[in-house]
Structures are given as C-alpha cells and as structure tokens.
Structure 1
Amino acid sequence: MLPPPIPSQPNVAIPTSWPPSAYTYPPLLGNIQTPSVHPSGSAGTSFGYSQAHQQYAVQRQFWATKAYQSSVADTITLCFKILREVPGKPKGILVRNLTEGEPNVLASITPPGLRQLGIQRMETKLTAALRGLRVDWTRIPLREIVIWVDLAHQPPDIAYFHARCMTGKEPQPAPSFKKQTKAFELAFVIDSEYWEEIEQQLADDEVRSCSFSKISNRSSNGRRSSQHTLDGSTVDLESHARRPSPDQEDDFELDRASFNRNEDHSPVCAFSADLTRALKVSVTAPRTPPPSKRRIIYQSPNQDHLRDALLEGGSSYSQLWGQGPNSTSEQIQFFAINDCSLNDLLADRRFQGFVCDPANACMGSLVIEAGNYLGIGTFKTAEMGYLTLLHLTAGHLGPRANEPVAVKRMYKRRKTPTDANPGKWVLNRLTSADEHSKILMEANVLFWATSIMNFTYSFIYHFIQSSSERPPFEISEIRFVRAGVAIVHNQSTGPTTLKCSISRTYLIEERINEAKDGFYKFINNGSAVPLTMTRKDASELSEFLAFTQHVQFYKTKGAVYLSDLQGSMQLLTDPQIMTSPLIGEGAEIFGDGNVPSAFNSFPEQHCCKHICRWFELPELAASTDSDTRSVISNS
C-alpha cells in the first residue's frame, strides 16, 4: 500500500551521482510535478520527487515477493555411523548396525555443526542399543570414513564439505556448486579401551538386574531397614530386621526366567556386591583371533602319533563312532514339552496335562542308532539319536540340525522259553496303542516335574532376596532335560482306512554326555534318603535335592514332591511325581512309580540338614486328610 499523496513538494535531496534511468516508471505517486530548476541555485543538488524516486514501489514489491519464496540453498547428504575399534580392522566395525542418513544439510556446515548434528541423530539410537546406558560423547571422536580424518583437528569456522562440491577450474571467475549424488560418510569411533568399559558396565547392570529385578513389595510388609540401591544410595527399610516366615508367601511364585530380564531397578540386598561377583559372566570379545586369521606354523609331525593315527584311522573300528549300518531314519511329528509356571498350570485346565496338539506339531526327521543303547531302565530303553526339525525353535529341542538326543521307548521283560539260556530276559516292545499312552504319561510327568522344580527355585530366590544375609553355601543350578514326543505314522499306499495310523511313539530328550559329565542316581522313588556318593560335589547335590523335596512337600501342605532324581550335575531326567494317597482316593496317577507307601514314609525318612534350617523350614509331620483336601479344593 502506497503512502498518501503529499500536498506539497518535500525538501528531498537527490544526489547528482544518480544516473538518469532509461526505464519509464508508471505514474504511481499521483500528479506530483517534478521541478526542472534548482531553487537553491546550486547545480549539484535537486529538491522534490524525481523519476528515480518512483522505483521505490517496484523494488518494494520485488523484495516482498522474494521474502515468500522458498530458499534455494546449497545442500549435501550425510550418513552417520557408530563404529568401534577392533584389532586387525583399520577402520573398526559397525556397532549394532547403527546407521542414520541425513539429507538436505547445508553445505556451509562447519565441523562443530557436523558433530552436534551427528550427536542429535545418533544419541537416542546408541542409548537404546546399549539398553539405556548413556555414553560420554567427549570420549568419542567424529571422523570422516573415507580419509579417516578427525574433524576435531579441522578449522572450526570453515565449511568442511562445501569446497568439494564446487565445480570449474581455476581460470573460471565463479565456480558453480554441484550437489553430490553420494552421501558423505561420517562415523563416531569408540576406541577399544572405552568399549571394554561399556561392555563391563553392561555386564554389571545385567548381573544386578538378573539377581534383584523381581523383589516383591509384599515381602517387606511395611517394615524398614537399611539397604543398598543400584545407584549406591541407601534405603531405610526394616524388612531385613528378620527373615519372613515361609508361610507368609504361600501364594508367591517367581519364574527363574524372569531373573534374566532387565525390568526395573528395585532395592537390592546388602550382599549385592558379593553376589554380583559370584554371578558375573564376561561378555567381552575373545582375545584370540579367528581360525582364518591365525598364522600357520610349519612343524614336522610326531612319528609315533602319526603311526598310531594311521593304524586307528584306517581300521573299520573308527567307523563305529559315526552312523553305523543299523541306523534308521524316520519322518516324525514332533511335540515339544513347554515350560509352564505352576500358577498358570493350576489356574487353567488347559495347562494341567501334556497333550499332543496338532496345532503345535513340528515336522522333522529322526535318525536312530538301533542297538546303540545309552541305558536300559526298568520300563524304558534309551538309544542314541539325532533330531532335525524343519522349523528350528529356540529354547526347545532342535535348535540346530542333527542335534544329539536320547531316544526312549517303552518295553516289557519276558523270559526266553528255550533251555539254552534259562532265566535270560528279552525285551519286547509294546503295542502301538499301549506305547503311545505310556509315552504320553512319561511326557506328562516331565511336564509337571519341570513346573514344580521352577516353583522350588522361585521360593529359594525369593527367600534369599528377602534375607539380610547371604547363604553360607552355594545354590546348585540344575534343571530337567528339554524333551518332546515324536510320533511316526504309517505310510499307507492302499485305500484309505479309518484305523489309527500311529506306528511308533518316542520320548525324545536332551542327551546327557555321560562320558564327560557322569550319571548319578541321587534319590530313588522308594526312599527319601539320598544315596551315598563318592564325589563330594555329587554328595552336596544330593543333599540339595533332598532339600528341594522338603520345600515341595511343605509348600504344597503334603500333597506332592519330586523323587527318583537322577542325571548329571547339571541335568536331571526320568523323574517321578509322588502324590498323597488321599488325592484320587487310590486312583493310579503319574504312572507306576508313584508308590503310596514311599510317600507316607517321607516325613519320617527325610533328615533336615543345614540347608533346610537356613531356609527356616519346619520339621516335617505326616500330612492330614483335611490338609490335603484343602489343597485340592483351593487349586
């Protein structure tokens, strides 16, 4: 909008240096006459509006239009990465695939601006990759990947990439800017020393959260005492003034798998530092180079070793360790035995027994070394086998192809009728229907045993976390083998019939390396007294398993406990669930090994050791009819 017309000529000095314009301006200022004479009489200055002043409106409109136009600036594309130094890699390796592209960055950006922009783009990603751990960015330099130059050593007030985008040779007066099609790559490089500190901090945080992330608020019950927290401060809680009675947490259960999740930062016990050192696991990279990088050193072979190796390797005896002539391969339908917490198992009837649900079946193949027995028990035989599933599953059997397994089948003994070997027993297989039902019962026993053992460890961990002192003994870590049921169907080529196609049923278990880890019978199902062991660690494990029986019997109010405990120092197999004779009123449950007389004598036969006393378990007494019936009705 133009200013209002001026009624009289203002006193405006017009420099004589303004050249006359050849452009004819439109009459925008109204009928204002421009003087043709110099009133002052001077020849160097004119007064009043002239034609030169009329370009004001045109220029004003030009710049107003420019103000609303989009800016066309010289831009580049950047790519930020997070690298860490590794021996043998001149430019390091990428950390957790952390890469971020940044288009349309002003080419006039300086090295400090590049660093600030990179931190803004990568800080959130790096913090998430390190599970919330914040790094010290002052210790992480920013480098250009191509020429490996530290930007901190470049001039801070000069555009870093602008000169590389200018085209044209020196004689040309004004080189033009050409946007690069390829992104400029920049990397924040973490040196090896700082990366080891980060890994150590992550390991410490994982150990602390693994041990104390599931402290229940109910265990304190409003009491207070002094405890240490993760940040080093103290919290005044009286919950450590005395240990809670096991009766106060009858309904408490905590799955052992939950201790491996970093979920919260609850207060920890006073002995957290000792427990951290005891549970610490190194997660740093190995110091030795990979096999492809190792230097090959020439050395003449030992003649004695060479002669023995040729003699053994060239004989047929060496082939016995591989797949023999009696190997059979079968296509199977596999049903994994999943873990289920005791609370979920009691709350939902769908989880109260193992079933072969076709919706959860996995197809695969099973190679059996027929006649190569790992062991022969009272009701089952165990042969060597190799399991391959079409869909590899983590946490169950079959995470890799040809996994070594133990293939178990049911049998019954029969004496030979001949007089050549009187009294000799032979193994007879059951019919397909009987074998199928008994294998499913064995799988169901293992399913329940795993749940009850997980509940036992939940009680142990909860009691230790609620205590003000650390137990003066080690807590043994042991579990039942991963297992599943494999079913073989007849491959019928004739007309379709309605009869059952199940030919054989196997119980597939994680194989225990008996030659390396040994195999022990810790407690049988006929007595509560642990068997005598020659090895000290095996004897201590037997006492610990007897303690777990006490926990199970006491926490279920005399309803159930696990027995027939056998296996290695890390894995257990073929358990037996012992239930009160009052449950089911004499019905046969959990197989033939559930002996009522052994269950009734358990309170008298069990001998409490120091473990039972430290966990404040009371002396056992025979469970009453009313106690057991109350347990059944509540569940």
Structure 2
Amino acid sequence: MELVSQFTEDAYAKEDRICERPTCATKILKGDPCFYIATIDPNKPGRFVCGSCHSRYQKKAATSVRPSSRNTGFHMPDTDQRPPPRPLPDLHGIRRSVNAAQRTATINPPRVVATSHGLQGSQSGPSGPIVAIPTSSSWNQTSHGLGVGYTANHAAHASQREYWSKLSYTMGSHAETISLNISAVHDAGPKRKGSCGTPISNICEGKKDIHAQIDAPGLIEIALNTILPKILALSPAFTWRTSQFIVRDAGWVDLSTHPANRPYFYSECWHASKRGGKESKVFKSKQFALTVVVPESQWLEYQEWLEKTEEESHHLAHRDVVAHRDVVTPIEEPVMTCKRVHQRSDSIPISALSGGLSPPHKKLAASSAFCTPSPDREDLKQALRIGGTVNLDVKQLLDLQNKNIQYYPIPTRPLSVMLKNAKFLSYDIETVECLMGQLTINPSMPSMLGAGTFKTAHPGWLTLFSPPLSGLGYQTRHEVAVKRAYYKAVLPGTSTASLKFKIGRYALADEVPRLLKEGNVLYWAQSLLQLTYDFINRSITSASELPPFEIPQVRFVDAGLAFAFGPLPAPKAGSSMTNSARAVYLVEELIPGRKGEFVKYVHNMDSNPLLEKSDDGYDLALFFTFTQHVQHIKTWGLAFISDYQGGSELLTDPQILTHPTVSQGKDIFGDGNIEGAVSKFEKQHSCNYYCEWPGFGLDPFTKLPDASVSTDDADI
C-alpha cells in the first residue's frame, strides 16, 4: 500500500461513511479524520480508511509513502471521487532505444542513470521514474581504463580466471592418490648393473597420499624437500649447489623438461577392467620412483673437499698428541686421559642424528681414533685367547631333526562348559584348530631333559606358520620340551629288573593313543585346577577378612600334539597312499630352570606332601594337597589331581585319580590312575593351614554325603 499526502480539507470526512479496510468497517463520522490509501497496482482503486487504520498502515514495513502533487498528474478534486490511474511509462520505447544504442557501442554497456529531466518527445507528463538512456558517445568514457560501472577489481579477471582454471584442472577425487619412493644418487664413479647412478649413503625415503594428478613441478618440489636435508647433513660445512640437482623418474626422464599443469603419473594409474561384461577403466594407486641426482662435477668436488678436510683433521690431531706428550705434569696415580679436540663446524651434533638425518660420512670419523685409549694388554691377551677359538659341536648341530608338523593345541575349558557339550568331555583333535609349522628336535642323549616312567623329553623349538596371539607357538623358535612314549627294551642276557636297558619306540599306531591319553590327562588337570581357583577366589571375596597367607599362582604348561609328516615314497602301480604321518610328539612349554630345580611335590600314591618340612617348596606342596581337598569336595569324591610336579609356577605330567565307581572296570586316564588313592583320601589326607582357614569353610572329613553322585559345579 502507499500513503498519499492530502490537503487539510481532504483529511476529514465531509459526511458519515464506513472505513473501507475490510477487517475494520468502522463508521467514520462527519468531521472525523479520513485518509486515502492507494494500492501498489495503479490500475486498482484505493480506499478511504479511518485514523486508526491509517496509523496501522504507517507502521507496516511494506507500506511506502509517495508525495502527492498536482504537478505530477495526480489530482483529487473531491474526497468522494477516486483518483484516476496514472499512465505507465512507454516500456517498448525504452527497450528500442537501449537495443539501438547497444548495437553501436562497446560490449560493456554503461549503467542506467536516473535524471531529473523528462524524455524528449514525451507528450504527457511524467508518471513514473524518469530514465535517461546515455548516448553512444558517453559509453566510451572510462574510469581507470574500464567501462562505466566497472571497478579496478575487474582488471584482475584474466589472471584470476587462469588461476582458478589451473586449480580446477589439477584437482580431482581425494581418493586418487599415489605413493613415492625417493632416493639420492650421483653420476660419478662406477655404476651398478641396471642402475643409472650410484646411491648416496643409502638415502631413501617414502611418501604416501600424494595427489595422483600432481604435475612435474609439484613432484620436483616434494623430492627436493624430502632429500635435500639428508644430503646437506652429510657435510654441513660443504657448499652444495642445490639448484644444479636434477629430479628424474624411473625411466631417467628429467622432470624439469615436462610442462606444468599436466598430471605426470595420472595416466599410468588407469587400468582396463571388466565389470558386468563391460570393459571400463578403473583407477588403481601405484608407487612411483623418483631420484634426486647430484651432478658428477659437484660430487667430485665434494670428494676432494672431504679428503682435504680429513687431512687437516689428521694433522691437527697429530699435533695435539705430540704437544700432549711434551708436557710433563706430576701425576700421583696412572690415569688414562684423552685430550679434548676442538669440534669443527663440519661435524654433526647428536641432536641432528636423532632428528632422522643420515649419519656423517665414515671418513669424517677417522680422526677420532687418535683419542681412543689402548686396551689393557692382559685383558686383550685373554680376549684373543678365548675369541680365537670356535667351540661348535658340529655333530650336535648336524644331528638336529627338523619336522614339518600339524600342531593341535590342548585347550583350557571350564568344567561347566565341558559338562554342557559332549564333544568337550575329552581332548579331541577334531574339536581344535590345526596349525601348520615346523618342529626342531635335539635327539642326542646328553641333551635329554629327562625320562619318566612313560615318556622321554628332549629340547626343541616350535615355529608355527600362523602363530596364535598367545600360548605355545606365539613366537618364532619357541623353546619347547618334545616328549615321546617309550618302553624299556631289556638287553639280551639281562633280567627285566636290570637297570641296563634301551629306549624302545612304539609303532605309530600304538604311540598315538598313548600320547593322546597323556594330552587328555593334561586337559582335565587344567580344568580341575581352574575349578579350584574359582572356589578360592569366591571364598576370599565373600570372606570378612583376607587370609593370613599368600595364595600361590601356578598353572599347567601349554601343550599340544604334533604329527610329523615326511616325504612319501614313490607309489607303486595299483596302490594308493593313505597317510604320510611319520611320528607323533607331545610338545609342551619348556619349564625354565636347571634339571635340579624340577621338583615332585605330591605322589599319586599318597595324599600328603612328598617333601619334608625342611625342603624348599614344602609350603607349595601343602597348597597342592589343599587343592586335592577342594577338588575332592567339589566333585563329590569322584576325582582330583595328583602327581603334582614341575617348577614353582609351571607344572607338568599330572595324573587324574578317579573313584572306582567311575571307571566301571575300564582303563581311563592312563596307567597313573590309582583308584584306591581316591577311596582312601579321607583317611590319608591331613588338613593344613590352607584347609583350616575359616574363609574356605572346609570341614574335616567324616564320610561321603548320601546324595547322589554329581559333578555339577554351579555352586562354585
């Protein structure tokens, strides 16, 4: 809406009327303020409103104020008559004038300027904004060499367009990157076969995530920024002329001859690919080699400077040594001294080396030899005497056996998990992961770790091709104890009770079940020991106070079965090869320490410590008998671990003893299962301070409970 100013006599109603604002319709009495409001569209009539509506229109942001003058063609002879619509400007005439002027002028038309005078030839008075079209002569007037309406910023249009064009041309997808392998060589001296230069001090650096569309100048900048600090670090005192260095690619092409603003390696990253039966090209990131080449003349100059510097350093060091010998000073005790030599500017501080720079040339360090004191004569004589001989047991080295194996680790599972799955009730190689590897064995008799009742143990090393994160074989050449089953082969003419016998080996078909049974005993021993520690931890957590003793932390060794495979003989006609296994081994984690540190704490024939009170390890033996007490209670008198032996932290070769009602006359858990020991446990076992601590709640044995036999460990 537009507010039009009126004469005083026009601002009051001459008679009663209604406010023409649709939402108001208030009665305007004669003599009350009455205002005329024009519309934005001049073809539509305005409206007469009351004073309050007029004030409202004045406050609206969309309302404009247009002065009314009788000289402008606007006339209100009477407030009862509406003003006639104003004539529109001749837009068609303006358009013709502008087009005619542009055809004879420059391509930069001037801005339209509003003037106070009217258009020539206009027959009627102006009824809108007066627009003057500049003539063609005025279009040629410029400001600072530019057309009318342009500023000095427009002068940089050409350079800005070139800059952004180059930038948009070189930019691409951020995923399209390459990597660089940058090295330094020189042209002087002999060159390796297939090489165009001689490497400089093994200087080689890598760069990744380089934009694939980088041009040659960008590659030169990256190569020089990477390699120059390392070349300058060789001898900071030497004046390198880095402007003469040349950057070449793998084809020995000088990158400085390649034009800028063109990707250098980008085209080599596109490869043909077939997807969905259609041939297309895909981008694949690659690594490219760049070489910073030091010219031959400059490198020879550097070598001459290096030799000259070395001679000067040698001369100065020799002069200082002679001067030191000529000075006689009273010395109370013979003290080995070394005169401090002034540090030259061409030496490299330690901080520079720690910052990733290459070490100095070997020739620069030669002068420091004059300050190195001579070793003691007797010490040197002894070192030469020992170091001059090579003590190598060649026979033992040649006797080492290397076996390609399939390794089946023995897992550790809680008893509750074993009871829920019938497949987990025994150690079965079908339920564990098979790992390929190599086993090295030292089978010599002097190196034997020991021989028990059923097995021999030799040192060895286990290497698995896909090592696990933990356990046996997680590291290369893991030291192990390699065990095999054996029997005593009595020599002819001697009795079976004789101590002289040979170690006999079983056939593979007989040895596999024996070692598999040994692995199963270890499998159950790990589970029962974990059952014991669960009971201990829960009892201590729920107790009102901590026990007055430390709980020993022990475990059984990690182990597994290894089947060795050898080369198969040539098959005969009409025959088929069935199995290539040659031997089976029980591979165990090696217990550290000497042979004398291997202790047997509890025998499988007794439920009390095998050691005396004065023996080392007696307290640990008491703890093992306490674990038997706990296992006897938690299994309802059906089973417990016996034959505890090994070190102070790692145990091996246990036995599982079961109640006679468990086996039902069958051979279970091997020959070491003395079933009578379980029946007599309550009578033979003597409780110790572990058993008697109130926090564990273990009562002295009276008799077995009448409840049915169960192995449920849910109350642990």
The TM-score, its normalising length taken from structure 1, stands at 0.52
Taking the aligned partners of 2:426 and 2:686, their CA distance within structure 1 comes to: 32
Q: Distance in 2 between matches of 1:437 and 1:30?
A: 117
Q: Which residue of 1 aligns with 2:418?
A: 345
Q: Does 1:31 align with 2:87?
A: yes
* In structure 1, C-alpha distance between the alignment counterparts of 2:596 and 2:131, rounded to whole Å: 104
Task: Give runs of aligned pairs for residues 220-239 of structure 1, distance below 5 A.
Answer: none
* 2:456 paired residue among 370, 381, 401: 381
Q: Name the structure 2 match of 1:354.
A: 427
2:605 and 2:674 in contact (8 A); partners too? yes
Distance in 1 separating the partners of 2:127 and 2:636: 112
Q: Does residue 324 of structure 1 match 2:324?
A: no
**Is this contact kept in 2: 1:408–1:506, CA < 8 A?**
yes
Alpha-carbon distance, 1:361 to partner: 1.2
Letter of the 2:562 counterpart? A
Contact 1:578 1:594 in 2 (8 A): yes
**Residue 491 in structure 1 maps to residue 570 in structure 2:** no
Deviation at 1:607, TM superposition (A): 1.3
C-alpha change, 1:12 and 1:447, in structure 2 (3 Å) is farther
SS in structure 2 opposite 1:449? helix
Cα displacement (A) at 1:491: 2.5
8 Å contact from structure 1 (residues 441, 590) kept in 2: yes
Q: 1:4 aligns with which of 41, 47, 50?
A: 41
2:424 is aligned with what amino acid?
Answer: F
CA shift, 1:414, in A, is 2.5
1:336 to 409, 423, 427: 409
Q: What letter matches 1:387 in structure 2?
A: L
Q: In 2, are the aligned partners of 1:334 and 1:485 still within 8 Å (CA)?
A: yes
Query: How far apart, in 2, do the equivalents of 1:500 and 1:11 lie?
Result: 110
Letter in 2 for 1:325: L
C-alpha deviation, 1:597, in angstroms: 1.9
Conserved 8 A contact 2:635-2:710: no
2:700 pairs with 1:619: yes
The aligned residue for residue 512 of structure 1 is: 591
| CA spacing shift, 1:472–1:415, aligned 2, 3 Å | same
Asked if the contact 2:402/2:438 (under 8 Å) is kept, the reply is: yes
What is the match of residue 474 of structure 1? 550
Of 461, 474, 478, which residue of structure 2 is paired with 1:399? 474
Measured in 1, the distance between the counterparts of 2:682 and 2:652 equals 24
- 8 Å CA contact 1:517–1:569 kept in 2: the answer is no
**Alignment correspondent of 1:629:** 709
- What SS is found at the alignment partner of 2:663? coil
Asked whether 1:456 is paired with 2:532, we answer yes
Instruction: Give the secondary structure class of the aligned counterpart of 1:319.
Output: coil
User: Which residue among 431, 441, 449 is the counterpart of 2:517?
Assistant: 441
Distance 1:585 1:419, change over 3 A: closer
1:444 is displaced (CA, Å) by: 0.7
**More moved, 376-385 vs 514-523:** 514-523
- Looking at structure 2, the residues matched to 473 and 298 of structure 1 have their Cα atoms a distance apart, in angstroms, of 57
- Whether the 8 Å contact between 2:416 and 2:714 is mirrored in structure 1 is no
* Matching residue's letter, 1:551: V
- Paired residue for 1:272? none
Cα distance between partner residues in 2 of 1:311 and 1:630: 71
Q: How does 1:158-307 map to 2 (within 5 A)?
A: none
1:563 and 2:642 aligned: yes
Alignment coverage as a number of residue pairs: 380
Q: Please report how far the alpha carbon of residue 363 of structure 1 lies from its aligned counterpart in structure 2 after TM superposition.
A: 1.1
Q: What amino acid maps onto 1:4 in structure 2?
A: D
Gap change, CA 1:527 and 1:10, over 3 Å in 2: closer
After superposition, the Cα gap between the structure-2 partners of 1:509 and 1:600, relative to the gap in structure 1 and judged at 3 Å, is: same
Aligned residues with identical type, % of pairs? 35
User: Bigger shift: 342-351 or 299-308?
Assistant: 299-308
CA deviation profile, 1:153-195 (whole Å, cap 9, x unmatched): xxxxxxxxxxxxxxxxxxxxxxxxxxxxxxxxxxxxxxxxxxx
SS in 2 for 1:491: coil
Equivalent residue letter for 1:483: A
Contact 1:558/1:627 (<8 A) preserved:
no
2:675 aligned with 1:602, yes or no? Answer: no
Q: For the residues of structure 2 that align with 1:461 and 1:472, how far apart are their CA atoms? A: 15
In 2, are the aligned partners of 1:11 and 1:47 still within 8 Å (CA)? no
Secondary structure of the 2:676 match is helix
Distance 1:359 1:551 in 2: 30
Matched, 1:522 2:598: no
d(CA) in 2 for partners of 1:604, 1:300: 75
- TM-score (normalizing by structure 2): 0.47
Deviation readout 1:10-52 (Å, 9 max, x if unpaired): 64399xxxxxxxxxxxxxx973579x999xxxxxxx9985247
Question: What are the superposed Cα offsets for residues 358-397 of structure 1, whole Å, 9 maximum, x if unpaired?
Answer: 8721111111001220111111100000111111112221
Shift of 1:503: 2.1
Q: What secondary structure, in the 3-state scheme, does the structure 1 residue paired with 2:627 have?
A: helix
In structure 2, runs of 5+ residues without a counterpart are 2-38, 47-63, 70-84, 91-114, 118-124, 133-353, 355-367
Q: Aligned Cα RMSD in Å? A: 4.5
**Structure-2 separation of matches of 1:542 and 1:314:** 49
SS at match of 2:640: strand
- Tell me, what secondary structure is at the counterpart of 1:514? coil
Note closer, same or farther for the CA distance 1:484–1:49 as it changes in structure 2 (3 Å cut): same
Structure 1 position 305, deviation (Å): 5.8
Shift of 1:544: 1.4
The alpha carbon displacement at 1:432 in A equals: 1.0
Deviations 1:197-248 (A, max 9, x none): xxxxxxxxxxxxxxxxxxxxxxxxxxxxxxxxxxxxxxxxxxxxxxxxxxxx
Change (3 A) 1:343 1:632: closer
Inter-partner Cα distance in structure 1 for 2:504 and 2:456: 11
Counterpart of 1:186 in structure 2 is none
Task: Tell which has more relative contact order, 1 or 2 (C-alpha 8 A, sep 6+).
Answer: 1
Ranges in structure 1 where 5+ consecutive residues have no aligned partner: 15-28, 39-45, 54-288, 290-295
1:545 CA drift (Å): 1.4
Measure the CA separation in 2 of the matches of 1:411 and 1:574: 15
The answer as to whether partners of 1:388 and 1:403 remain within 8 angstroms in 2 is yes
Whether the 8 Å contact between 1:528 and 1:605 is mirrored in structure 2 is yes
Please report how far the alpha carbon of residue 585 of structure 1 lies from its aligned counterpart in structure 2 after TM superposition: 1.6
Q: Secondary structure of 1:357's partner? A: helix
* Structure 1 residues 594 and 7: CA distance shift in structure 2, 3 A: same
Does the 8 Å CA contact 2:636/2:711 hold for their aligned counterparts? yes
Counterpart residue identity of residue 610, structure 1: Y
3-state DSSP of counterpart to 1:531: coil
CA–CA separation in structure 1 for the residues paired with 2:519 and 2:697: 34
User: Aligned equivalents of 2:373 and 2:684: distance in 1?
Assistant: 63
Flag the 1:451–1:298 CA change in 2: closer, same or farther, 3 A.
farther
- The superposition leaves residues 464-517 of structure 1 with CA deviations (integer Å, 9 ceiling, x where unpaired) of 111222221111111110101001234323225365543211000000122299
The 3 A distance-change label for structure 1 pair 564 and 300 is farther
Structural mapping, 1:79-158, within 5 Å: none
Q: For 2:646 and 2:379, how far apart are their aligned partners in 1?
A: 36
Offset of 1:335 from its aligned partner? Answer: 0.5
Name the SS of the counterpart of 1:370 in structure 2: coil
C-alpha deviation, 1:586, in angstroms:
2.4
* One-letter code aligned to 2:427: F
1:471 aligns to what SS in structure 2? coil
Q: Any conservation in 2 of the 1:566–1:574 contact (CA below 8 Å)?
A: yes
